[in-house]
Chain A
Amino acid sequence: AQRVTQPEKLLSVFKGAPVELKCNYSYSGSPELFWYVQYSRQRLQLLLRHISRESIKGFTADLNKGETSFHLKKPFAQEEDSAMYYCALSGDGNKLVFGAGTILRVKS
């Protein structure tokens, strides 16, 4: 079975503080992991994907197969980072399984 767990419903940090949004997954094969983001009044959109090993808007995420994690990190949070973040896994069947999402709130 494929499962994605985002343990925090809400993460609140101050502007300039480091951010880490947690994501753990369960999958017996070799997964592909993604982060999607939904800003206020905007559509859900892809932020980054594990396979690209990219940094988008200052965010990075490293796949840790030993810990089955794909945490999203940013060293210095900005107010415009406030949004809903979803971790997603692609295993079997060419579909995505999403976690429950974490609301990131960056306070000034």
Chain B
Amino acid sequence: DAGVIQSPRHEVTEMGQEVTLRCKPISGHNSLFWYRQTMMRGLELLIYFNNNVPIDDSGMPEDRFSAKMPNASFSTLKIQPSEPRDSAVYFCASRSGTSPYNEQFFGPGTRLTVL
């Protein structure tokens, strides 16, 4: 099993452009999480889904950010328009079941640079 898959691994874009990050969770996992990692703030939860339904998006910084999970094997995080302060590493994680005791499995991350 390749684990959680994220693409692209690196993204460099210019301010104002649309950015789409992709995630494929581990097969059979029904919870999916999007995080943002920065040196200043560490790992912040942006949004999470249970069974493809968004449960908590309180961490989404503003309306420029949106996330979808059209099916159990795919999710996207979109930033439109992007700004330099969005530069960070974005992680996707998946988990079996909904219990917080279950381990979250993380993808390799997407390093986003907005110029």
Interface residues of A (CB under 8 A from B): 6, 32, 43-46, 49, 51, 86, 90, 93-101
Total cross-chain contacts (CB, 8 A): 56
Shortest Cβ gap from A79 to chain B (Å): 23
Which A residues touch B106, using CB under 8 A?
43-45
Q: Which residue of A lies closest to B31 (CB)?
A: A94
Which one of A6, A46, A86 lies within 8 Å of B103 (CB-CB)?
Answer: A46
Shortest Cβ gap from B83 to chain A (Å): 22
Q: Which residue of B lies closest to A52 (CB)?
A: B101
Give residues 38-56 of B contacting A (CB, 8 Å): 40-45, 48, 50, 55-56
Q: Using C-beta atoms within 8 Å of the partner chain, give the interface range for chain B.
A: 20 to 34
Give 3 closest A-B pairs by Cβ, nearest first. Answer: A100-B42, A90-B100, A98-B43
Known: A86-B43, A100-B42; 6 extra A-B contacts, CB below 8 A, are: A43-B109, A44-B93, A44-B106, A90-B100, A98-B43, A101-B43
Which B residues touch A6, using CB under 8 A?
42
- Asked whether, in the complex, the Cβ of B45 is within 8 Å of the Cβ of A97, the reply is yes
Give B13-56 as 1s and 0s: 1 = Cβ < 8 Å from A's Cβ atoms. Answer: 00000000000000000010101000011111100101000011
- Asked whether, in the complex, the Cβ of B42 is within 8 Å of the Cβ of A96, the reply is no
- Asked whether, in the complex, the Cβ of A49 is within 8 Å of the Cβ of B45, the reply is no
Complex A-B: 11 CB contacts under 8 Å: A32-B101, A43-B3, A43-B4, A45-B103, A46-B103, A95-B45, A98-B45, A100-B42, A100-B43, A101-B42, A101-B43
